[in-house]
Structure 1
Amino acid sequence: MTATPDIGMVVVQPTAFCNIACTYCYLPDRSNKHVIAQSTVTRLFEQIFASGWSCPEITVIWHAGEPLVVPVSFYREAFATIERMRPASVHVKHSFQTNGTLIDTEWCDLFKEWGVGVGVSLDGPRELHDLHRKSRSGKGTFDKTIAGIRSLRENNVDFHVISVLSHTSLDQPAELLDFYLTEGIDQICFNVEESEGDHVSSLFHGPELRKRYAAFLRSFWHLARRSGRVRFVREIDLALPRLFRPEGVPARNIQVEPLAMLNVDSHGNVSSFSPELLGLKNKDYRDYLLGNINFQSLQEIRDTCLASALYRDITAGVQACSRSCDYFSVCGGGAPVNKLFENGSFTGTETSYCTLTQMVPTDLILEAYDRLAHSPAMVVPQDVPSPSPVQSSDVAA
């Protein structure tokens, strides 16, 4: 019997519409202006809270296309509705991933009032950002994005940025860091331009990519630490607790657990595992959909998931990873959607994506740990955890 879900993340697509047109965007329906109904939001969270499957903290990510094209008033109503239904035992944290072009004081007021997490897509200085992040008329979006970021800073709203690395920016770790520091950005995440949906990245298939990315991340991380002005580098800081954790505690991967990550589009259609699957078509997997929250209960959606070819093949892929990959104890089976996009099947194993997001950070952290551990000046306190259960000798270098 499969354990009941522990729903830790709910990705809600308020609309598929996006007000800009990035050249690397894979979303198939980004001109559709349909907006999720308040009744669908109510029904979704009624089902989540009634199920008893909630983790003590649920992160609700409003994401894809551009969530800020939906007015502030919509979110005030939705947040208040969710709060009224929320059990006392569950904490709800709202978060937005936005291109930043629409942020103003009114949005900042909402973010502060509700303690909203904010991620802004920013690819670096103008010459890098405007290469791919363009308006629908083909113009660069840098000025509007930076204006949004400066509004966040002026209104004391905490935020991070996500930068997509291209051929050019992979060679510019110092230049990127200088730019972030100039703009007061101290929480930074990186994505490498990848193949998703209809977008095929030539960069992702380059034979030297792992070496180039490792050189970039090593340099950026070390420079950021020396600067003393960067609070968070996602690729390193999220990997650390996965490596340095108590013996016997597995690393959780919500991308392979049924309904642990619950994804809902603007029509109420539900998927799990990866939000990128929403909107994609595949008859063998019923378009990756598990039901519609407007018409099915969460229990019915879970039952459909457990009986699906989608879950069967994702599980087979996780099992294959566990048998073949030295990094399995760090990632727990990879990202199913990237297996699909890169290898053509959920049952596969290693992808370029997992090489970059799991293997490279692991190698860099263990490299730094070994260097510190062998330093004559280093005194290791007794309560400093070793990198168990992933030892240096267990990890392919």
Structure 2
Amino acid sequence: MCAAVSPEWPSNGLDVARLIGEGWRPVPFSEVVLKIHGRCNLACDYCYVYEGADQTWRSRPRVMAPDVIAKTAARLGEHVRKHALTDVSVVLHGGEPLLAGRTAIASAVDRFRAALPASCDLEVTMQTNGVLLTDEMLAMLDDNDVGVAVSLDGDREGHDRHRRRADGRGSHADVMRGLNRLAASHRRLYRGLLCTVDLDNDPIRTYEALLETRPPRIDFLLPHGTWSTPPPRRPADGQGTPYADWLVPIFDRWYHAPHKETGVRLFEEILNLLLGGQSRSENIGLSPVAMVVVDTDGTLQQVDTLKAAYAGAPETGLTVFGNSFDDALTHPGVVARQIGVAALSQTCRTCAVRDICGGGAYAHRYREGEGYLNPSVYCPDLMALISHIGRTVQHDLALATAAPGR
């Protein structure tokens, strides 16, 4: 499949050859998102894959064929050796990756482990809706050391509002059955929960429902939207902060808990950046994004959340059969995710929280006719959340330094 021809930034306006001529070099890919199955057993109404602007999933294979898996593994091995990488990760994704079945998943993991040199550690994880986490499936994942993260949007009412089957039935009960199996008998595989923020759900009730299986981490995801198609109740040209107003009570509940109940990725990343650390998330901060997506047909893509922007937005025009991973490193969309401040709009470059926010999630910056050289559509929310966390930390640091004996 050819890459979408876009007159917008970064396809038009980012001079990659000049950057390389001036000495910039890309960061090698250390994460491969493998779309091992291209369909899903749920019909979530907010899904960026099936409900987004990009509908190319309809023309792609339902399942990733063994030759695509083998070639992708070989490409990763080639990339690891060329750049002397010491650790990489493969994320089994979809669609719903568990639809691929136990045999195909185990075979794929074997392929990737065999393709890498002994000098490189491989972490394999998956993002699943949890419905198919049977005892047999979990035993296979345990045997193959595959970490598992599960999508859960809170309690039954909150989860089932959007995460339903095609016939309208809710999925919460099935997800919880699988999640309880994971958290009890295969806890070493449990990587955490992914929760999409829904302003119609009570934030504290949602957070406390997520705590029930003692997840090691929770990742709150802002609904995908752009300046052209704003997220629910996010005023595109207004200064309201509905999403920060939803997240701040959770932060306060999490931060002031008498003991650590779980990690919350968004909050931890903001705290880490405020205290001078580096970002480990593609959605916050300015650290280079070193991730490539391989779809079921072997096409190399940028982060698949770009599907929320326009048809063909994630495409690079490259495939594992005709191109190395290095070929994708100089695609303008990949380069834009690695050059930090140089990829930010003028508004973001002069912002007081620039290095913390980092412009927000890349997909959320898109505006039709302009491209991605914009602040996040969530700009007011990000400013409010970061400012609240910053004030909280400053207050605690001031108390600590003023304590007797200091």
Same fold? TM cut 0.5: yes
Q: Of 30, 34, 40, which aligns to 1:12?
A: 34
**Larger RCO (CA under 8 A, 6+ residues apart):** 2
Distance 2:28 2:210 in 1: 36
Contact 1:251 1:332 in 2 (8 A): no
Q: Match of 2:197? A: 165
Q: Once the two structures are superposed, what CA deviation does each residue of 1:26-58 show, in whole Å capped at 9, x if it has no partner? A: 213566662112222222232222232364322
Q: 1:322 to 1:220 in 2, by over 3 A?
A: closer
How far does residue 132 in structure 1 lie from its aligned partner after superposition? 0.7
Q: Match of 1:335? A: 361
Matched, 1:76 2:100: no
Matched, 1:43 2:71: yes
Contact 1:5 1:260 in 2 (8 A): yes
Q: Match of 1:388? A: none
Q: Of 334, 344, 365, which aligns to 1:318?
A: 344
Partner letter of residue 328 of structure 1? R
How far does residue 379 in structure 1 lie from its aligned partner after superposition? 4.9
Distance 2:78 2:323 in 1: 14
Q: Of 143, 146, 151, which aligns to 2:173?
A: 143
How far does residue 142 in structure 1 lie from its aligned partner after superposition? 1.0
Partner letter of residue 149 of structure 2? G
How far does residue 312 in structure 1 lie from its aligned partner after superposition? 7.0
Q: Of 103, 107, 111, which aligns to 2:133?
A: 103
Matched, 1:370 2:394: yes
Distance 2:215 2:334 in 1: 39
Q: 1:89 to 1:310 in 2, by over 3 A?
A: closer
Partner letter of residue 270 of structure 2? A
Q: Once the two structures are superposed, what CA deviation does each residue of 1:237-260 show, in whole Å capped at 9, x if it has no partner? A: 1223223236xxx65776899982
Matched, 1:275 2:299: no
Number of paired residues? 369
Contact 2:293 2:301 in 1 (8 A): yes
Distance 1:85 1:374 in 2: 52
Q: 1:208 to 1:147 in 2, by over 3 A?
A: farther
**TM-score w.r.t. structure 1 length?**
0.80
Matched, 1:56 2:97: no
Q: Match of 2:317? A: 290
Unmatched 5+ stretches in structure 2? 1-19, 50-54
Q: Of 25, 29, 50, which aligns to 2:47?
A: 25
Of 75-84 and 39-48, the range deviating more from structure 2: 39-48
Q: Match of 2:223? A: 193
Of 230-239 and 68-77, the range deviating more from structure 2: 230-239
Contact 2:294 2:300 in 1 (8 A): yes
Q: 1:232 to 1:208 in 2, by over 3 A?
A: farther
How far does residue 377 in structure 1 lie from its aligned partner after superposition? 7.6
**TM-score w.r.t. structure 2 length?**
0.78
Distance 2:101 2:343 in 1: 41
Q: 1:219 to 1:323 in 2, by over 3 A?
A: closer
Distance 2:229 2:132 in 1: 25
Distance 1:299 1:376 in 2: 48
Q: Once the two structures are superposed, what CA deviation does each residue of 1:310-339 show, in whole Å capped at 9, x if it has no partner? A: 857996643646633333322445433221
How far does residue 165 in structure 1 lie from its aligned partner after superposition? 1.7
Q: 1:377 to 1:5 in 2, by over 3 A?
A: closer
Provide the aligned C-alpha RMSD in A. 3.5
| Partner-residue secondary structure (3-state), 1:205 | coil
Distance 1:348 1:69 in 2: 37
Distance 1:371 1:259 in 2: 32
Partner letter of residue 372 of structure 1? D
Partner letter of residue 20 of structure 1? L
Of 141-150 and 183-192, the range deviating more from structure 2: 183-192
Distance 1:252 1:64 in 2: 23
Q: Match of 2:5? A: none
| Partner-residue secondary structure (3-state), 2:154 | coil
Q: 1:103 to 1:288 in 2, by over 3 A?
A: same
Q: Match of 2:257? A: 226
Partner letter of residue 36 of structure 1? M
| Partner-residue secondary structure (3-state), 2:300 | strand
Q: 1:302 to 1:101 in 2, by over 3 A?
A: same
Distance 2:301 2:142 in 1: 30
| Partner-residue secondary structure (3-state), 1:17 | coil
Q: 1:371 to 1:318 in 2, by over 3 A?
A: same
How far does residue 181 in structure 1 lie from its aligned partner after superposition? 3.4
Distance 2:165 2:354 in 1: 40
Q: Once the two structures are superposed, what CA deviation does each residue of 1:118-150 show, in whole Å capped at 9, x if it has no partner? A: 221111111111111110111111111111111
Distance 2:231 2:135 in 1: 36
